[in-house]
Amino acid sequence: MSKRKIPDYHSKRFEDITGFVRNYRINDGLTQAEFSDMSETHFNTVQRFEAGNKNITLVTLFNFIDAMDMTLSEFFEGME
């Protein structure tokens, strides 16, 4: 199975989202394990996400947003 190339503009969006979640976690003094508990996701999922694995589900992203106690509009505010 061939991997489809992700366009650069999508890669930039993913980097913005990943950075936002990582910065939130760090600024709140949370470890990846603590954030995984809060977001009800496996520790490895958080670890792979922050390392740049672009293959996460919307449900996982929604779990992250819920763990940060944000609405979708708050989360995506300022992102292009």
- In the chain, where does DSSP find H-type helix? 8-27, 32-39, 43-51, 58-67, 72-76
Q: Which domain holds residue 43?
A: 10-22+30-76
What CATH number does the domain containing 45 carry? 1.10.260.40
pLDDT band at 2 (very low <50, low <70, confident <90, very high): low
Domain for residue 48, yes or no?
A: yes
Domain for residue 35, yes or no?
A: yes
Domain count of the fold of the chain: 1
- pLDDT tens digits along 23-74: 999 999 999 999 999 999 999 999 999 998 878 899 999 999 999 999 999 9
Phi, psi of 29 (to 5 degrees): 70, 30
Domain for residue 5, yes or no?
A: no
Domain for residue 59, yes or no?
A: yes
Entry pTM: 0.86
